Amino acid sequence: MTDETKLLDVVVVVTDVPEHKLHRGEIGAVVECHGNDTFEVEFVSQDGRTYALLTLAGDLLIPLRVKPTHDATDVVPAMT
């Protein structure tokens, strides 16, 4: 993977992790980056409860990033 996983990235698990009851496609947030290509990832339910906080290898994760489709100079300020 060419994108580097960083702190606070939203990530998706690419395979089932049955020992922690995680399924491929579950989405979490990186809350700690360890030096050996492992990451502490928090998984939160829709009601805001953490259901898993795990250290996972980087090859089990894909960072989800939105690529801008416009130039930042085209952004219209919000009306207040």
pTM: 0.76
For residue 55, what is the domain's CATH number?
A: 2.30.30
In a domain, 28, yes or no: yes
48 neighbors 31 (Cβ within 8 angstroms): no
Write the DSSP assignment of 5-41 as a string of letters: P-TT-EEEESS-BGGGTB-TT-EEEEEEEETTTEEEE
In a domain, 39, yes or no: yes
The tens digit of pLDDT for each residue in 31-72 reads 999 989 999 999 999 999 999 999 999 999 999 987 665 565
In a domain, 78, yes or no: no
In a domain, 73, yes or no: no
Counted domains in the chain: 1
DSSP single-letter state for residue 80: -
| Alpha-carbon torsion angle 8, 12, 13, 15, nearest 10 | -160
Domain that holds residue 36: 10-64
As a residue count, the chain comes to 80
